[in-house]
Every structure is written in structure tokens, then in C-alpha cells.
Structure 1
């Protein structure tokens, strides 16, 4: 592929470089894991400074399209998904919008006594048992999220539901529980041995932890959910207006 910038264009060089990179990373060889050319090689091919090239690369890294590791190189990120606060969606809805087919790598259902944070959310005693759902989910190729959900014990879930069906469809169709609001907390940490084993990564890899406190249309708490996401497969966006 011939790549070059147009120095006669009014468009800034870093924007032109960004556009070229977007085309480059759509090539099958880079989608399949091949490292991008080194910065010095790319900057020479484009006849721009490394600082200008780095500005373009940084934009794509910020968008979650590229992963750059010191001493290793830059490569295309696995196709991940973007979450956010505006018009929040369930995981199944997010994946459907992205056209991703989701696979359950693990699925466990049982009852467990609520720990304090769960008990406080549902306003129950800590010794009350809640239905607990654990799922490791991902694409056909690899898992990228480990979910743990606890449900309000006032919802008469039986443990016999088909949890391969979208969760909120079960709640609405079987129990007339319509979810409306999600309050979220997001933070980063290292995977650790347990989560790393679930997500096929190493213990020192970064993950994003996403807590969801889900309420129904009457503002009654429905679900306490924790998701552990591979950082190379998840981008979270916020939109703010003045």
C-alpha cells in the first residue's frame, strides 16, 4: 500500500496521518495481529516527523483502535465494544448493536448470602440468600468479560430460567420487572490470578471493573452487577455538555 500525505492540502499533517492509519489498520494482516511498522519507518514513509505521527497514533490509541506496548510495538486492538452512560444498554443489547455474536464460556447459577454492599443495596439482612449468576462471556475467539450478578430476593427467580436468553427479557416477560436506571462505577486494576484465569490473560494485565446498580421503573433495586473486562476489549465513553 502506498501511503503519503499531501503537503499542499489545507488539512493538518497529523489529521492526514490519522486518516491513513485508519485505512492501514483495516488490512487483514494487521487485523490478524501483525505489528504496525515502527514509528521511524512510518514517519519516513509519510515524510512527517515522529511527533506528528505519534499525535495520530495517540488518537487511535485513545479511541481503543490501537494498542501500544513499550518495547513491543503497536498493533490493532481486538474488536472490542464501547459502553457509556448515555442511553445505557444491557450487555446483550450492546453486543447486538455492534454485530457481535456472544458466547458463554462459563455459566453458574446458585444462591449465596448477601455480603454487606449487596445487602445495603437491596435493603435486606446480610444472611438473606440472593440468586447469584456468574458468566464468562466473549466472542467466538476468546472471553473478554466475567460477570457476577446478584438479584433482589423479592423477585421470584427460580434458578430454572434459561440464562442464555437476555437477562432483562427474562425479568420483563416472566416477572413484569422492567429495568430503567443504571448507576455505575468504573475503575482500573490489575487482573490478579483468579480473573486472569477467567479471561485468558496474565495476572499483571490491566482490567476495567464496572459496577452496575440497576433499578426498575419504580426505582426498586433489581440487580447488583460487577463486570471484569479485558482492557484491550472495552472502551468506556462519557459525554458532557454545558
Structure 2
């Protein structure tokens, strides 16, 4: 096992599963565990951290959900090989993105429902598996036609009722009506092709190129707020990341 100091502070007010998650993140980033190396087995790791396997599994589940770890039956849990990614120090809501580009937005569909969360959402939000959460589905685009299908899930802590006017900018609703500020966004972007369901939603052909974006949104206390899936027609949308290179430190 890596020489990192893996230790849980049992007197800390920080929940044990959160501490375990943070320690696992350190393991993932360490040189010893890059490129798909297996983690220590759960029994040994839980014993070393002096926590239950259920607590450890809660932390692992969240990192599996974020696709930082993967489980293989009969093999164990291993670190996912790193994919190329880009981080931006600033991010915008869809409405802000479109306003910045001078594109008027039209809502083609808007559906609200309450659902029992799957295991991944339970792990991300840290909620009871029997607690229903609000699901918001929107098909949006230009006046000429749709080009993005959004699916959002929200933490019950926010207090959304489903009666909100979701034609308003989403994060304005959260901040103005529910005093919840979306502060941090972590995103993953990949490519896929449209199945029959997506082709119907986006008025395109089955097999058409789709830009797929996962967005994990956190509040100012780094608590999970929203999990968002975005499916964009690749021929109608370009995703731009702007980053400023930090100046190199002078050699000593």
C-alpha cells in the first residue's frame, strides 16, 4: 500500500464516509495508484481505517459514480485510467451561455417528476435510498429547433416543490427562491450517438453524433446540489473551454 498517511479522525465532526472519500481521492491521485491499479481489498482497508465496510463502501460508491473508480466482479476495485480533461475557472448556466452568444432560447419540453434515486444518486447526494428527489427534464434550443436535452436531479435539502416556474433561469430560482447558491461545477464531456429516444427528443437521426456532458454542481459549502446530464446535437453546438495559463515559477 502507498505510504500516504491514511488515517480517519474519529473525533472530527466531518462524517466518516466523507473522510474516507477524501482519503480515497488522495490514493487515486498518488503515483502508486495511477493507470488502473487495484485498491486494497475492502476488508483490509476498512480495518486499517477503523470504520465499517458499509461506511467505506459508501465512499467508494460515490467515486464509482464519478467514474474515478470501477468495480470488477471477482477482481476488485481499481482506479480508472485518466482521460484527457480540461478545467475552467469560470462556468455559466445554459441560459447565461446562450445569452453570452446572443442566442435566444426556446423551451420545447419541460417535465417535472419525483423519483426514487438510483444507487449512484444516493451516493452522490448522501441521502436515504427511499427518499424521492425532484427530476427536471427540459428540451431546449433555438427558435428553429431543439439542440439540447437536459436531465437534472436535485438534493432534497434545497426545498424545491416542483411548483417553481422553471422557465426562469434555474440557478436564479435556487438562489432567489431557495437561498441556495451554485458555486462549483465539475464536468465530464464525452461523445456518443443518438438512440431512438434521443433522436426523438432532439429531432435528429438515430446514430447522429451527440456531445454528452455530466455536470456535478456544489454549493458554497461544497455540498452536492445538482446532478445534471446534457445531451447536445453535435452539429448544432460547440463546447468551448477557456483557461488562463499560470505563469511558471522562477527556478531557485
Q: CA deviation at 1:240?
A: 6.4
Kindly indicate whether residue 95 of structure 2 is the aligned counterpart of residue 102 of structure 1: no
Aligned residues: 160
Kindly indicate whether residue 236 of structure 2 is the aligned counterpart of residue 209 of structure 1: no
Partner residue in 2 for 1:218: 221
TM-superposition CA deviations, 1:117-166 (whole Å, max 9, x none): 21111011333210000000000001000000000011111111000000
Q: Aligned runs of 1:23-34 on 2, under 5 Å?
A: none
Kindly indicate whether residue 234 of structure 2 is the aligned counterpart of residue 228 of structure 1: no
- Does the 8 Å contact 1:144/1:229 carry over to 2? yes
Q: Which has the higher strand share?
A: 1
Alpha-carbon separation, structure 2, partners of 1:126 and 1:189? 30
TM-superposition CA deviations, 1:179-236 (whole Å, max 9, x none): 1100001110111110010001111101011000000111111100000000012222
Kindly indicate whether residue 245 of structure 2 is the aligned counterpart of residue 241 of structure 1: yes
Partner residue in 1 for 2:192: 189
Alpha-carbon separation, structure 2, partners of 1:102 and 1:192? 24
Q: SS in structure 1 opposite 2:97?
A: helix
Alpha-carbon separation, structure 1, partners of 2:104 and 2:116? 33
TM-score, normalising length from structure 2? 0.61
- Does the 8 Å contact 1:180/1:216 carry over to 2? yes
Alpha-carbon separation, structure 2, partners of 1:126 and 1:195? 28
* Higher-Rg member (1/2): 1
Kindly indicate whether residue 171 of structure 2 is the aligned counterpart of residue 168 of structure 1: yes
* CA RMSD, Structure 1 to Structure 2 (Å): 1.6
Partner residue in 1 for 2:121: 118
Alpha-carbon separation, structure 1, partners of 2:130 and 2:209? 33
Kindly indicate whether residue 151 of structure 2 is the aligned counterpart of residue 148 of structure 1: yes
Given the alignment, which residue of 108, 122, 132 partners 1:129? 132
Q: Aligned runs of 1:31-46 on 2, under 5 Å?
A: none
Given the alignment, which residue of 138, 142, 150 partners 1:139? 142
Change (3 A) 1:117 1:173: same
Alpha-carbon separation, structure 1, partners of 2:115 and 2:88? 30
TM-score, normalising length from structure 1? 0.63
Alpha-carbon separation, structure 2, partners of 1:194 and 1:127? 28
Alpha-carbon separation, structure 2, partners of 1:84 and 1:108? 31
Q: SS in structure 2 opposite 1:185?
A: strand
